Amino acid sequence: MKVLVCVKRVVDYNVRIRVKPDGGGVVTDGVKMAMNPFDEIAVEEALRMREAGHVSEVVAVTIGDKKSQEQLRTALAMGADRAIWVEHEEAIQPLGVARVLKALAEREQPGLVLLGKQAIDDDCGQTAQMLAALWQRPQATYASEVVISGETVRVTREVDAGLEVIDVDLPAVISTDLRLNEPRYVKLPDIMKAKRKPMDSYTLPDLGVELPPLVERLETTPPPARTGGFKVESVEELVATLKEKGLV
């Protein structure tokens, strides 16, 4: 079985986000970029499936400019067999990503598509669900455990009420949650080997996909600065302060 794993280039989670002076987005020039952490978990899970003998090939996929190849090389260094780069210079919205992934799924015919539950740059958390709907395949989101058994996969997923266990038929779409696994450390020899692994490239016309913008971002603003706290002398003063601020 082949697994398609989707990865995204985002600002590293250790970087302090700064908004551009004109409010046109966040500053990315000179900023450390990395693979979306949830996507890294998806890559790790695909590799563990291959090591367990359930998967024969792991294919990493990304959509973006030339710099996004860095994240594909990271996935290859982790152990992915090959990579697919879909060249696109502009920002892409979740429905557009889902359309591109559907086109690739129809070409590659994977038994499973894995991706992170959300990207830490926009936190939309929509792509997996949209892909499953467009591809007309079952989905299991927010997975904290994945067990393949024949032509089905059992997924333990995190919901508001606790844990939910569902069985879905393959091919399917699964989005990974934080507690699914701990991604492996990439060693220098693996990074060198990744440079020799194959990477195919496509453009949107190659895939027959058009991406008209459906959502327009008008302005990006930073969150309000936090004010300092203060101590109260009694419960009565605490309640009065909360009432004054309209919190109770």
Residue 89 makes CB contacts below 8 A (sequence gap 6+) with 65
3-state DSSP assignment of residue 213: coil
Q: What are phi and psi of 126, to 5 degrees?
A: -120, -20
Residues of the chain with pLDDT under 50: none
pLDDT at 226: 80
CB-based contact 63:88 (threshold 8 Å): yes
Under DSSP, the state recorded for 143 is: E
By C-alpha distance, which of 90, 114, 88, 89 is closest to 174? 114
Which stretch of DSSP H or E encloses residue 43? helix 37-51
CB-based contact 17:26 (threshold 8 Å): yes
* 82-87 vs 112-116, strand pairing mode: unpaired
Residue 26 makes CB contacts below 8 A (sequence gap 6+) with 11, 17, 18, 19, 20, 121, 220
Do you know the residue count of the chain?
A: 248
pTM of the predicted model as reported, rounded to 2 decimal places: 0.84
CB-based contact 92:211 (threshold 8 Å): yes
pLDDT at 24: 77
**Within 13 Å, how many C-alpha atoms sit on residue 75's CB side?**
36
pLDDT at 160: 85
Question: What domains can be seen in the chain, in order of their start residue?
Answer: 2-140+178-244 (3.40.50.620)
pLDDT at 16: 85
**Cα distance between residue 77 and residue 189, in whole Å:** 9
Rg (Cα) of the chain, in Å, rounded? 21
CB-based contact 6:115 (threshold 8 Å): yes
32, two tokens: 């450390």
pLDDT at 29: 81
108, two tokens: 């590659």
* 152-159 vs 139-149, strand pairing mode: antiparallel
